[in-house]
Amino acid sequence: MNDQTLTPEERAASLKGMGSSRKRVEDVRFTQGKGNYVDDIKLDGMLFGDFVRSPYAHARVKSVNKEAALALPGVIAVLTAEDLSPLGLHWMPTLAGDKQMVLADGKVLFQGQEVAYVVAEDRYIAADAVELVEVDYEELPVLTDPFEALKSDVVLREDLEGQTEGAHGPRKHHNHIFTWEQGDKEATEAILAEADVVAEEMVYYHRTHPCPLETCGCVASMDKVTGKLTLYGTFQAPHAIRTVVSLISGIAEHNIRVISPDIGGGFGNKVGAYAGYVCSVVASIVTGQPVKWVEDRMENLMSTAFARDYWMQGKIAATKDGKITGLWCHTTADHGGFDACADPTKFPAGFMNICTGSYDIPTAYLAVDGVYTNKAPGGVAYRCSFRVTEAAYFIERMIEVLAIKLNMDAAELRRINFIKADQFPYQSALGWEYDSGDYHTAWDKALKAVDYEGLRAEQSQRIEDFKAGKTRKLLGIGLTHFTEIVGAGPVKNCDILGLGMFDSCEIRIHPTGSAIARLGTISQGQGHATTFAQIIASEIGLPADDITLEEGDTDTAPYGLGTYGSRSTPVAGAATAMAARKIRAKAQMIAAYLLEVHDNDVEWDVDRFAVKGAPERFKTMKEIAFAAYNQAIPGLEPGLEAVSYYDPPNMTYPFGAYICVMEIDVDTGEWDVRQFYALDDCGTRINPMIIEGQVHGGVTEALAIAMGQEIAYDEMGNVKTATLMDFFIPTAWETPNYTTDHTVTPSPHHPIGAKGVGESPNVGGVPAFSNAVHDAFRPFGLVQSHMPHDHWRIWKIANGLGMHG
């Protein structure tokens, strides 16, 4: 077919640009087992590292005896804090302004903490040697409850003794980390004092874990000849890791190359820096050989970053007809033994101050106290922007609690409090400027799609049947309208370790009209190679199939802050569009030259520049690309490439309406999700199929979290859920069918109007499932009950409400 016979629409469709459900290009290798993950990397002479870990949650380490381990043939070295301290590497800085032991320095603060690092010629020998290292521990009293910790005489962090000032202000107690306050305390308390109605509740979002399919790991390879360190790893932020490694090791940054190969899921777990990385680098420097370290599942669940663990005391004030007048929240945040929470520097509780949610709440106050306990450090954004899931869960529970207090329908209570479409950009009481939204439209669409009134009628009938002894199953309708804040973020207020949270894209057009683009982000399943090529395709009119996308190699990709917090599309996606526009601007000049008209006399038409008023006279992008390399064009440099570093003017605020219909067996606590409807508004939709996939995956994680997944400790600080037998990962059997839907409210400040979607389903899903459980029992008097809603906890609700006779 000749180009000229195609309509503009047909030409646009053939590009597979934005809006196309283009198949994921990554899947060709993944579905054939041809991915290249860290553990697939094998280098000549590679050694293997493995950790001796503490069986105790709090203990003094009196001695470490390496002799028997070193005597085992094949063991090269056993590192302890003593070996690392001359290098100053026995501790490392955390992302939260605290420091963390790399190897136990005199004591351990959580079960599974790294005590010694064994290096051996073989993975099996390393595991055997771990058993042979003798550690003499003296057990200390264990604190697993943050409220207790704040009262206890037991000092967890002796290294901080006497330090009354932390990275985020004064410390009130030796186990206290920080207090973070937002909003207007006095005004909020005044409103609470005078309100018609105040609902008050403790909302606990339990500790859980991102548990990516691939655990954390790295291969460190120091080339003693070139002086260059190559570090392969499961890094969600490879460039930041390079800078951090340089700063803490003293190796010049140009001598460090960090490579994130294929990553088998991150969900926040792979943002931070771990002892395994530091020890592997040291071991490679010392031995001059590459050293591989890969966690096993139990190590991943016990020691690398957890998520949530927020105790959120809430008060919400309203008029008697349901108009919310104020919101108050005090959060006790359990950070474990070290504050290694992954948040932008100025936000020790992340963006928890998005907790006014989708509602026009004029006055609000939030305080967060961070606390040390004998649990693993972390506090990452598990498939959410920093602490946004906690915030969404909090407000969506408080709305339900208020509805109970007001004896109102929770859907209606939401509707009368939504920020209205004409209020955007909306200034929230806790300091954010919401970019765009149309909550009423989304809400009405969702309620209609599930026949909300019909469901309520069915539920009333069910309650009658239950009371009449005709059924033992209840019906719960879980509602959620969430608003996220993603795309961190503006360099003026967002940085990590001093690195501004911009992101980047570099595009090179090849002479024959194909291209390569490199970004500062790194895909872990999000499908960047598919979607970012689509952005470029739409912007410059080359087929997405002809655009290669590369990320994760710091020697080739432009600097960027990585992928987490739904920031790739809002930030790197914007950089991609901006870089493409620079290319298009140059292409316009080339086209004008070739067509022998003035620059302003050509106009863009899908995949070409055409002379205004004479559309039959045009140069396609392919022709322009070739000309860029074979013609001497006056006033223009040869070549066609561009780079953009994008500092977003604001965050983006995706939102959505989720509804879950759940059946609950009051005798066994078993649940069954009968229906799950997810409406997402992520602004401009780049690839609807990928969005749907992200929603399916994220809602499934939300199901897991709400209905059973937790990192639980006993009073000795032992992790009770360190294997997948006890840590709930749903199988296909437990996973419900989902109905996805959307509205489109573009972001006004983003070059293509996109907002990010990868995390919305986790953020919105958790309250939808939890609210369904609560809603089922609401008619029988339940107000609040903590997640996870596994069988016995649901049974306990029923039991507490006298349902077992």
Partner 1 sequence: MIPAGFEYHRPGDIASAIGILQEYGDEARVIAGGHSLIPMMKLRMAEMGHLVDLQAINELKGVNVGADTVTLGAMVTQHELITHDGLGSAIPLIREAALQIADPQVRYAGTIGGNVANGDPGNDMPGLMQCLNATFELSGPDGTRSVAAREFYEAAYFTAREDEEILTRITIPVPGAGVGQAYEKQKRKIGDYATAAAAVMLGNGQASVAMTNLADTPVWSESASAALADGDVDGCVAAMLDAIDPVADNRGPVEFKKHVAAVMLRRAIARAQSRAS
Joined tokens for residue 348: 């020790």
Torsion angle defined by CA atoms of residues 762, 767, 768 and 772, in that order, rounded to the nearest 10 degrees? 140
Kindly write out the interface string for residues 130-159 of this chain, putting x where it contacts partner 1 by CB under 8 A and - elsewhere.
-x----------------------------
Kindly write out the interface string for residues 295-334 of this chain, putting x where it contacts partner 1 by CB under 8 A and - elsewhere.
-xxx------------------------------------
Q: DSSP alpha helices (H): ranges in 450-595?
A: 452-467, 528-540, 574-595
Joined tokens for residue 286: 């010392």
Q: How far is the CB of 619 from partner 1 (least distance, A)?
A: 58
From candidates 74, 264, 649, 730, binder to partner 1 by CB under 8 A: 730
Q: How far is the C-alpha of 205 from the C-alpha of 112, rounded, in Å?
A: 23
From candidates 128, 184, 458, 465, binder to partner 1 by CB under 8 A: 128
Binding range to partner 1, per CB under 8 A, among 151-159, 369-377, 573-581, 730-738: 730-738
Write the DSSP string, 769-782: HHHHHHHHHGGGT-
Write the DSSP string, 639-676: S-EEEEEE--SS-B--EEEEEEEEEEETTT--EEEEEE
> C-alpha 380: how far from its chain's center?
7
Q: Where are the beta strands (DSSP E) in 80-175?
A: 91-93, 99-101, 107-108, 114-120, 134-139, 165-166, 169-170
Q: 3-class SS at 121? A: coil
Of the two residues 451 and 667, which places its CB atom closer to partner 1 in the complex?
Answer: 667
Is 802 near partner 1 (CB under 8 A)? no
Kindly write out the interface string for residues 238-277 of this chain, putting x where it contacts partner 1 by CB under 8 A and - elsewhere.
----------------------------------------
Q: How far is the CB of 341 from partner 1 (least distance, A)?
A: 27
Q: How far is the CB of 506 from partner 1 (least distance, A)?
A: 41
User: Among this protein's residues, is 734 annotated catalytic?
Assistant: no
Kindly write out the interface string for residues 763-792 of this chain, putting x where it contacts partner 1 by CB under 8 A and - elsewhere.
---------------------------xxx
- Beta carbons of 673 and 661 less than 8 angstroms apart: yes
Q: Which residues pair with 645 in a beta bridge?
A: 504
Q: What is the sign of the dihedral through the CA atoms of 571, 248, 70 and 64?
A: negative
Q: How far is the C-alpha of 544 from the C-alpha of 12, rounded, in Å?
A: 11
Binding range to partner 1, per CB under 8 A, among 340-348, 394-402, 437-445, 661-669: 661-669
Of the two residues 552 and 669, which places its CB atom closer to partner 1 in the complex?
Answer: 669
Q: How far is the C-alpha of 207 from the C-alpha of 144, rounded, in Å?
A: 12
Distances (CA, A) of 85 to 102, 113, 242, 782: 10, 17, 21, 55
Q: How far is the CB of 733 from partner 1 (least distance, A)?
A: 4
Of the two residues 392 and 798, which places its CB atom closer to partner 1 in the complex?
Answer: 798
Q: How far is the C-alpha of 216 from the C-alpha of 715, rounded, in Å?
A: 28
Is 217 near partner 1 (CB under 8 A)? no
Of the two residues 455 and 803, which places its CB atom closer to partner 1 in the complex?
Answer: 803
Is 721 near partner 1 (CB under 8 A)? yes
Is 715 near partner 1 (CB under 8 A)? no
Q: How far is the C-alpha of 401 from the C-alpha of 513, rounded, in Å?
A: 59
Q: How far is the C-alpha of 253 from the C-alpha of 201, rounded, in Å?
A: 50
Is 511 near partner 1 (CB under 8 A)? no
Of the two residues 612 and 796, which places its CB atom closer to partner 1 in the complex?
Answer: 796
From candidates 667, 672, 739, 744, binder to partner 1 by CB under 8 A: 667
Segment (H or E) for 258: strand 256-259
Q: How far is the C-alpha of 643 from the C-alpha of 586, rounded, in Å?
A: 13
For helices 238-249 and 275-287, what crossing angle results, to 10°? 60
Q: How far is the CB of 134 from partner 1 (least distance, A)?
A: 16
From candidates 11, 123, 228, 473, binder to partner 1 by CB under 8 A: 123
From candidates 225, 468, 632, 725, binder to partner 1 by CB under 8 A: 725
Binding range to partner 1, per CB under 8 A, among 415-423, 460-468, 533-541, 793-801: 793-801
Q: How far is the CB of 795 from partner 1 (least distance, A)?
A: 5
User: Among this protein's residues, is 759 annotated catalytic?
Assistant: yes
For helices 791-800 and 760-777, what crossing angle results, to 10°? 30
Is 731 near partner 1 (CB under 8 A)? yes
Q: Which residues pair with 679 in a beta bridge?
A: 657, 741
What length is written for the chain?
805
Q: Which residues pair with 170 in a beta bridge?
A: 165
746-765 positions binding partner 1, by CB under 8 A: none
From candidates 266, 336, 697, 708, binder to partner 1 by CB under 8 A: 708
Joined tokens for residue 531: 């979607």
Q: How far is the C-alpha of 147 from the C-alpha of 551, rounded, in Å?
A: 43
Q: How far is the C-alpha of 214 from the C-alpha of 589, rounded, in Å?
A: 48
Binding range to partner 1, per CB under 8 A, among 181-189, 291-299, 379-387, 511-519: 291-299
From candidates 121, 189, 550, 734, binder to partner 1 by CB under 8 A: 734
From candidates 27, 30, 71, 124, binder to partner 1 by CB under 8 A: 124
From candidates 612, 668, 744, 781, binder to partner 1 by CB under 8 A: 668
Q: How far is the CB of 762 from partner 1 (least distance, A)?
A: 19
72-111 positions binding partner 1, by CB under 8 A: none
Query: Among residues 113, 182, 236, 534, which one is catalytic?
Result: 236
For residues 208-230, b (16+ Cβ closer than 10 Å) or e, as one string? bbbbbebbbbbbbbbeeeeebbb
Is 473 near partner 1 (CB under 8 A)? no
Joined tokens for residue 711: 């990192």
Query: Among residues 211, 329, 384, 660, which one is catalytic?
Result: 384
Q: Identity (one letter) of the amino acid at 455?
A: L
Q: DSSP alpha helices (H): ranges in 491-573?
A: 528-540
User: Among this protein's residues, is 462 annotated catalytic?
Assistant: no
Query: Among residues 53, 171, 308, 383, which one is catalytic?
Result: 383
Is 51 near partner 1 (CB under 8 A)? no
Binding range to partner 1, per CB under 8 A, among 112-120, 277-285, 290-298, 632-640: 290-298
Q: How far is the CB of 521 from partner 1 (least distance, A)?
A: 31
Query: Among residues 113, 218, 759, 778, which one is catalytic?
Result: 759
User: Among this protein's residues, is 236 annotated catalytic?
Assistant: yes
Q: Mind telling me the catalytic residues?
A: 236, 383-384, 759
Give the residues lining the site for partner 1 (CB under 8 A): 123-124, 127-128, 131, 296-298, 667-670, 708, 712, 720-721, 725-726, 728, 730-731, 733-734, 790-792, 795-796, 799, 804
